[in-house]
Structure 1
Amino acid sequence: MLVNLSSRKKWASLLLINAMMLTTVACGSTEGASSKPAADATAEPSKAAASTPAASEKPNTEEPAQKTDEPLVVYLNDFDEIIKPMFEQATGYKLELVTGNGAEISSRLEAEKGNPHWDVVWMDAMPTIDKMGKDGQLLENWKPQNIGNLTDFAKQFVPSTNSYVPTGAHAASVIVYNTKAFNANTAPKTWKELASATFKGSIGMADPAVAAPAYPFVAWFFQAQGMDAGKQYFESLMKNGLHVYPKNPNVAKALTSGEIKAAALQESNAYIMKNQGQPVDIIWPEEGAPASVRVAAIQKNTKHAEAAKAFIEFLLDPKTQQTLIDKEKRATSSLP
């Protein structure tokens, strides 16, 4: 998590977990970021973001001289059911959302590279958005007034060009197993065990070339273990009969159908399954879990710059942050 909410310290310890995604940015235009496993890999999950309740209760945005009737177009892959009414009520701007999973939004951004139809992108695909910044597609050298609400951890991921801001993090993968196949004693408990002959042909994961959260999961091993060891690890998984699916929902379906018995699965998918009463259980490996960082960026040539900036300020506002945290907390409150 990237928030600095003193009343939510248990949430702040959730996702101090890093991935190669963080190094991708560090090797680019951001200041150095370290990669370490989570201090508490058994903590509850969250996707919230980046501000402190000590700050102002209202979004710290300037009122534009004139508001257009055209909506601000935001591409995103989560929080769509709550962010639109929240933002419109708080600012008076109209919002049009284009939603999809990480792969779908990334593909759309690439297809529209020469003629973007979006004003703001907000998704957990920091390497993709970082590359867009390097390609000159993003607004640079604008610093949100609320950027001071970022935690020190979050500030590591702000590029020197200020072309995007981090707003949250979640686990790119945790271990999930089918309870009809395994129990707490027999299920794999570490990433290393996934390559064990005990689980030959039983393990699945999403394709890192398609599913946005799968990229930092894979890259984390290269970061933590080195290039050679990371390559050897995934070669051992493939030799052990690893099933690779296009997206995390495909992995979830294979897991419940019995096609696979355990998986490296994105955290929110895992807890949705658990809350739905699916025959699964979740393990946070002792080695930690890699984080997928959610960031927001403004399209360089947007015609709605004031509204776009207001949206970024809104995301970093403490009241917005707390609402997003509470949403995730409610989603997991029924878990044992």
Structure 2
Amino acid sequence: MKLWKTKSAATLGLLLLTFTTACGSGASQPTAQASTDAAATPAATTSTETKATADAKPAAGEEITVYLNDFDAVIGDMFEKKTGYKLNVVVGNGAEIMSRVEAEKGNPQWDVLWIDSMPSVYGLDQKGQLLQDWTPENAGNLKESFEAQVPDDKSYYPTGAHAAGVLVYNTNELSEADAPKSWEDLTKDTYKDLIGTADPAIAAPAYPFVSWFFENKGMEGGQDYFGTMMKNGMRVYPKNPQVAQALTAGEVDVAMLQETNAYSLVNAGEPIEIIWPEEGAPGSVRVAAIQKDTKHAAVAKEFVNFLLDPEVQQQLINEGDESYFEPSAEGVETKEDREQDAKLNIADAAWASEHEAEIKQWFADQAIQ
């Protein structure tokens, strides 16, 4: 077996924030009526007032920190131009972002998480780290298929989905007749030492990709499927851009490649052909979630609502870095050259989250055998 892997991890220091509170009191004695009014004010009123203050829209210019994985650098300027609020964008691959979140769990430095790792975000919700029971105004724009991805506690919202992997091949090395047509074709000896893919422990879309196979085939079936390809010399690269580079450089002839990376190769004039298998492609849902103890709840909610705006999603398709995706909002047009009958198969978030550590560990174990 010929397996290439690169490990990355983020080591972060935790910041200690010191909060000070000030209180004041009036010097005059309250009147009898004032005393009566004060006594009649229930504690719930104070709680309601506190919540109203937290959700009140602040002055333009307030900044929130958004953690996102390697896409759409245009989003900060788009959001500030439309709302006046600023984004401090922290970018990394899936493993780096989730490592940061884990390291900061006692003192989170992020306000919004926008990432291609719905199973991982589901796991954060199960640990009580996300704001729950909030419905953005633009959630009413969601397509039915994306409404189904919103959890019951409304802790995160889908902004779109893309093929975590489509079949691609180098036309200088393989003819159309010899190219794989289905996912099962990849297990044939014909493609021994010819296949490349991204590491599900590092690349954010790669875990949603493999988890769909494991969910549908069962744990043993998933291990048999990927194990067969690994025994046949499948190469595992850290991220999709490295897979794309290997494909064009002739290191591999066939790849399971995230769709924006695949279409980018075609648009660059590379000798690459894209195949959408008839059974569909495993999809990765991009979701946005708010940190439950954020001090900037109003702006964080404004941002999530912004991401669900059909006009914003259309602009991301027209101008964004990751422009090949199925928008979650109704009325948004996809790229003209994207497969119009593209079928995305989404793994159940709860199932994929429950088995995430086990599946990623299995892949890691194959690297040292």
TM-score normalized by the length of structure 2: 0.69
- The answer to whether the 8 A contact 1:73-1:96 is kept is yes
Q: Which has the higher contact order (CA 8 A, sep 6+)?
A: 1
2:254 aligned with 1:254, yes or no?
A: no
What SS does structure 2 have at the residue aligned with 1:80? coil
Match of 2:270 in 1: 278
| Superimposed CA distance per residue, residues 209-238 of structure 1 (whole angstroms, 9 cap, x where no aligned partner) | 221211121111122233333222112112
Q: Aligned runs of 1:27-106 on 2, under 5 Å?
A: 64-67=56-59, 69-77=61-69, 79-106=71-98
What SS does structure 1 have at the residue aligned with 2:174? coil
| Superimposed CA distance per residue, residues 48-88 of structure 1 (whole angstroms, 9 cap, x where no aligned partner) | xxxxxxxxxxxxxxx94532744111111255332122211
Match of 2:291 in 1: 299
1:137 shift after superposition: 1.1
RMSD: 2.3
2:176 aligned with 1:176, yes or no?
A: no
2:184 aligned with 1:192, yes or no?
A: yes
Match of 1:112 in 2: 104
What SS does structure 1 have at the residue aligned with 2:304? helix
Unaligned residue ranges in structure 1 (runs of 5+) = 1-62
In structure 2, distance between residues paired with 1:317 and 1:333? 21
Kindly provide the amino acid, as one letter, of the partner of residue 102 in structure 1.
Answer: G
Match of 1:216 in 2: 208
| Superimposed CA distance per residue, residues 244-269 of structure 1 (whole angstroms, 9 cap, x where no aligned partner) | 11211221121122111111111111
Match of 1:48 in 2: none
In structure 2, distance between residues paired with 1:333 and 1:154? 21
Report the number of matched residues: 275
Match of 1:41 in 2: none
Unaligned residue ranges in structure 2 (runs of 5+) = 1-54, 325-332, 340-369
TM-score normalized by the length of structure 1: 0.76
Match of 1:230 in 2: 222
Match of 1:135 in 2: 127
What percent identity do the matched residue pairs reach? Answer: 57
What SS does structure 1 have at the residue aligned with 2:74? helix
In structure 2, distance between residues paired with 1:81 and 1:280? 26
In structure 2, distance between residues paired with 1:147 and 1:332? 23
Q: Flag as ranges the 4+ runs of structure 1 deviating above 6 A.
A: none
Structure index of larger Rg: 2
In structure 1, distance between residues paired with 2:62 and 2:310? 27
Kindly provide the amino acid, as one letter, of the partner of residue 312 in structure 2.
Answer: T
In structure 1, distance between residues paired with 2:334 and 2:141? 25
Q: 1:83 to 1:255 in 2, by over 3 A?
A: same
1:200 shift after superposition: 0.6
Match of 1:145 in 2: 137
2:280 aligned with 1:288, yes or no?
A: yes
